Amino acid sequence: MSTWPVVELTGVSRTYGAVTALADAELTVGKGELLGIVGPSGSGKSTLLNIMGTLARPTAGTVCVDGHRVDELTDRELSALRARSIGFVFQSFHLAPGVPALDSVADGLLYSGRPRGERRSLAERALRRVGLGHRLDNEPHQLSGGEKQRVAIARAVVGDPPLLLADEPTGALDSKSGEVVMELLHELNRAGTTVVVITHDRDIAASLPREVRLKDGRVAHDSAAGASGTPYAGARAPREVGV
């Protein structure tokens, strides 16, 4: 694993009125890591996902994603960072009815500025990468649950983001399809993508190289020795965010 952090949370809290969803979270995710964040409903997993994915800003603390301090970015710069650096996979596949797999994946590059032909070429490559080269023209109703999730993963990685956030990626699948999806996430990680799996399934989390457990909005356990609060060597200055 590289010493360069893709995500770094320092003293991060998030409150909603009188409710504390996340409290003093300390978490550093290094480039090339594969880890699971696990906890029951209400433990703060969704809040942590939203903050790591720059979908929400913390009430307190600092968040760095791909070398950029989130609190120093405008909304436009934050959108550019999210589009370039983060891929999202959710339990619900979010595939539009009647739209072929190739177009669903290509749509993930709509705001990249690339021409349509290039977007479709990259989409085809991403689908072949997840083993769906034979399903390019299939619409969602023609795909199994596992295939739909693989289309969603292809859409998330088509722009080759350094960070992939997978929120309950096997939650809507049977056990066999879930195993295929988890093996795909392992393959993407072996190819260099940093993968964070958010799950309530402790078996899934325990099967990953690193396990972070949340309880009542706090990081209760991190299996990476010395991970919490440990500075990374070789840190460099944040890069300019394109818009």
Which amino acid type is present at position 207?
S
The H or E element that residue 66 is part of is none
The answer to whether the beta carbons of residues 20 and 224 sit under 8 Å apart is: no
pLDDT tens for each residue of 172-211: 999 999 999 999 999 999 999 999 999 999 999 999 999 9
Task: Please tell me the distance from the alpha carbon of residue 86 to that of residue 108, in angstroms, as a whole number.
Answer: 12
- What proportion of the chain, given as a percentage, has pLDDT over 70? 91
pLDDT of residue 239 exceeding 50: no
The DSSP annotation for 193-220 comes to -EEEEEES-HHHHHTSSEEEEEETTEEE
Q: What is the pLDDT of residues 125-149, one digit of tens each?
A: 999 999 999 999 999 999 999 999 9
CA dist 105 → 81, 137, 173 (Å): 19, 11, 20
* Residue ranges of domains in the chain: 5-94+160-222
Positive or negative: CA dihedral 207, 230, 39, 63: negative
CATH number listed for the domain at residues 5-94+160-222: 3.40.50.300
